Amino acid sequence: MNKQTVRDVDVAGKRVLVRVDFNVPLDKATGAVADDVRIRAALPTITYLREQGAAVILCSHLGRPDGKVMDRLRLAPVAARLSELTGLPVATTADCIGPDVEAVARSLAPGGLLLLENLRFHPEEEANDAGFARALAALADVYVNDAFGTAHRAHASTEGVARLLPAVAGFLMEKELEFLGSAVANPARPFAAITGGAKVSGKIGVLRHLLDKVDVLLIGGGMANTFLLAQGREIGDSLVERDQLDTAREILARSEDGRPRLELPVDAVIADAFDAGASTRVIDLAAEPVPAGWRMMDIGPETVRRYAQVLATARTVVWNGPMGVFEMAPFAAGTLDLARAVAALDAVTIVGGGETAQAVEEAGVAAQITHVSTGGGASLEFLEGRELPGVAALNDR
């Protein structure tokens, strides 16, 4: 990684503004943090800065308030959970900019923790407004970006403020860039990629970029349906993107010589409705069409076995996207079983954010994955080879 990190700056006695990704789910009944993975991921950077004598000012968004103040999206529950995790008091403010906030920031002692209110209560945040960025910069002497999950957005707190203060990466950002960067630039081989999710259109860039780099590409989820239809298979009422059939045919053609090897589902769990209570059965896709009125909802057990067999010799595996309608329990088995197979590999295994990260957690194997990315969209764009604005704005080494 060619960007400076917190190790490269002297923060003793300084106020450090840290962009974290505390966009965590809240319990609907209690309002408390329901999943603190992203908070815990930021602790190494927070602890290091405190130990170096910095006053630590944290800023984050939560949810999508669209520039309006929404009480249910205030960061007080996050501050409470951070306080529990650190055993330290965490000060909060009623806003994230302004004279009152500046006064609190100036009074923060070395080693102190302050969490600003939701950045996205201001429309200027997502607009990367220069004045809003200056107001954030006025709070601190140094800027640290430890929010990889938002690094693909050129917002005031990710890109704008980094142009105004000495700007470096936190430990989580560094870890994300090193794992994802080495996986794509210099992977141990064989290099396998697994991609799933609902749509081809959301991952065209990733697919095209990885085709030139991987040894094997395994496809599942709803996006596999478009590939199967492009091969002439009958897929019933399965989700399909007919406007992406040419893209699917192009990718299939590029893999015809086996470089890379392309794997599609050989069986599927089908259902007669898009519903957890629907009637289901498993069909062999080579022997039987998906009947009219039925749809593919998950990869079948033979596909899981085959994918696990293909992955057995891999030395690097990158996975983004579930293998089926993972949010419905009857159609989660393919994703969960594949997660267990990936976790058992003797390989560098990298899982990219969102539902895939949730899957390895639910399968009980997150600790066995080499790296679980905290950034869904950011990891996708990074794997596409795109420059991330929040990374590009940081100081070069």
Positions marked catalytic: 38, 199, 354, 377
Query: For residues 70, 155, 129 and 26, what is the CA-based torsion angle, rounded to 10 degrees?
Result: 10
Task: Write a three-state SS string for 131-196.
Answer: HHHHHHHCCCCEEEECCHHHCCCCCHHHHHHHHCCCEEECHHHHHHHHHHHHHHHCCCCCEEEEEC
Place of tokens 């290091």: 48
- Helices 37-51/76-86 angle, 10° precision: 60
Q: SS3 helix, strand, coil % of the chain, rounded to 5?
A: 40, 15, 40
Cβ neighbours of 197 (radius 10 Å): 23
Residues found in the chain: 397
Residue identified by tokens 């997502």 is 126
Strands (DSSP E) found in the chain: 15-19, 55-59, 91-92, 113-115, 142-145, 167-169, 191-195, 216-219, 261-263, 267-271, 280-284, 295-299, 316-320, 348-352, 371-373
Whole-number Å distance between alpha carbons of 198 and 222: 4
Please list, in sequence order, all residues whose beta carbon lies within 8 angstroms of the beta carbon of residue 221, skipping any fewer than 6 positions away. Answer: 195, 196, 197, 198, 321, 322, 323, 324
Rounded Cα distance between 201 and 186, Å, is: 27
